[in-house]
Amino acid sequence: MSPQVRLGAVSPRLARRHGFTLAELLIAMAVFGVVIASATGFLVAQSKAFRSLANKAADVQNGRFGRDVLRQELRTAGTNVMEEQPAAVFANDSAFAFNTDLTTNRQDSVRYTGAVYVDPYATDAEVSALTVDRAITIPGSSPAFVYPQQSYSQSSVIFINSDAELVSFLFAPDTTTGASGTYVLYRQVNNTVREVVATGLRKSRTTPFFRYWYDASKFGATSPNVDTVPRSWLPLSKSAAKRGVTPDTGTAVSMRIDALRAVEVNYEVTPARGTTREVVRYMVPMPNLANARQARACGRTPVTPTTPAVQWRSDSNAVMVTWARATDDGNAEKDAIRYVLWRQLNGATSWGDPITTVGVVASGTYAYKDASVDRGTSKSYKYAVAVQDCTPNLSGLAISSAVTVP
């Protein structure tokens, strides 16, 4: 007969089983904590290394972008400036400002006026020369240098502003939190808002950001090679209002900046790690400087256009101005590049600034719709049209009859 199992009795197999003691549990948790801490430390170290590598790569890329912008734009200094307009304006260790026809928002300019780039969305303030009423203090100039001292016209007959704008580059200390010892490369066009080109830049030991090379033969040297601008000359500035006109002649101090032939750029893109330094150093030649401006001669002064017709158009609430193709527009000397239009109140004694220009397209007739006239006052207006060639010479004015705006 089988032995009876008593109620509540524990099986010997189960009796031999027991849990962790408190000491064992504490040891296991300690070991587990060490393993987790080690793994976490490894992951954190890996993450920091990855971020450091990514940041370094970003800094290098950032520095290279700054290098490319400087290389592209410094080379254009002096492009399409007027006879008396300075090419280089200001230069010191950390700032360089120059005039260049870098950008235009007129799509005919690439064909006719020689701008380097076309940006149809650029504002008029970005694509033409500074005038006296928009004079600025050059960024980074010390002592402060105000430019321009006069306005520069494309025509001696009537004022048409130069197409060459002022471009300024400046290395300035980064004042943001945690950026101690680093610099920002800024770019500014005329008096528009300054923009950031590159950040996290550092000086390359004691070497200045900008170092200049000039044609020493213009100051008596017999060597044909360029030489570094003496430190005692800096800062260089175009203190004379008109380039190449007395007192800006010979070996005058204001002529020194016109002798520049190249700009050397130096900076570092990351902090030095031991003996490893990410140095950016290169020289940019400026072929348009230190040379007499090449004369642009397109022949004789253009023939004055025929008298323009004017008509008030109630369907478009505008004055329609039409005129026939000029003699030099695709014919004769074939050197016409644009038409220039003016408007004045009937009876006024001067024409003031042009209201617009129209690029030559060799069509039979041209038209301009002027919707900016005052309405409801019965004012009477006259219009004038002139043609300009690539010298640039401006023809005489062809003046319309008066038109009344209801």
Token readout for 128 is 């033409």
Q: What is the pLDDT of residues 397-406, one digit of tens each?
A: 999 999 999 9
Distances (CA, A) of 130 to 155, 198, 375: 16, 26, 32
As a whole number of angstroms, the distance between CA 234 and CA 42 comes to 53
Q: How many C-alpha atoms does 243 have within 13 Å on its Cβ side?
A: 25
Q: 132-136, 252-256, 392-396 — which is least confidently predicted?
A: 392-396
Helix (H, G, I), strand (E, B) or coil at 80: coil
Q: What angle do CA 232, 180, 72 make, to 5 degrees?
A: 60
Q: How far apart are CA 391 and CA 298, in angstroms?
A: 5
Instruction: Using pLDDT thresholds of 50, 70 and 90, give the confidence band for residue 17.
Output: low
79 and 114 Cβ atoms separated by less than 8 Å: yes
Q: Helices in 142-251 by DSSP H: which ranges?
A: none
Q: Does 75 have pLDDT greater than 70?
A: yes
Rounded CA Rg of the chain: 35
User: Is the peptide bond between 235 and the residue preceding it cis, with omega within 30 degrees of 0?
Assistant: yes
Q: How far apart are CA 391 and CA 54, in angstroms?
A: 53
pLDDT reported for residue 137: 97
Q: Any residues with CB less than 8 A from the CB of 103 and at least 6 apart, and which?
A: 115, 116, 117, 118, 119, 122, 126, 127, 165, 189
Q: Hey, is 292 helix, strand or coil?
A: coil
Assess whether pLDDT exceeds 80 at residue 100.
Answer: yes
Instruction: For CA atoms 137, 142, 144, 148, give the dihedral sign.
Output: negative
Checking if the pLDDT of 289 tops 50, the result is yes
Residues in the chain: 406
Task: For the chain, give the mean pLDDT.
Answer: 84
For residue range 194-232, list pLDDT tens digits in order: 999 988 899 998 999 999 999 888 887 777 788 999 999
Please, are residues 339 and 305 in contact by the beta-carbon 8 Å criterion? yes
Element (H, E) at 258: none
The strand pair at 103-104 and 117-118 is best described as: parallel
- Looking at per-residue confidence, does 37 or 373 come out higher? 373
pLDDT reported for residue 223: 78
**pLDDT of 321 strictly over 90:** yes
Amino acid at residue number 131: T
- Beta bridge partner(s), residue 48: none
Which value, to the nearest 10 degrees, does the dihedral of the CA atoms of residues 212, 217, 218, 221 take? 100
**In this predicted model, which residue has the larger pLDDT, 55 or 185?**
185
Percent of the chain at pLDDT > 70 equals 83
User: What pLDDT is recorded for position 384?
Assistant: 96
pTM comes to 0.68
Q: Which domains does the chain have, with CATH numbers?
A: 79-285 (no CATH), 309-404 (2.60.40.10)
Bridge partners of residue 313, in order along the sequence: 318
Measure the CA–CA gap between 376 and 171, rounded to whole angstroms: 54
Q: Pick 145 or 6 by higher pLDDT.
A: 145
pLDDT value for 295: 47
The tens digit of pLDDT for each residue in 88-97 reads 999 999 999 9
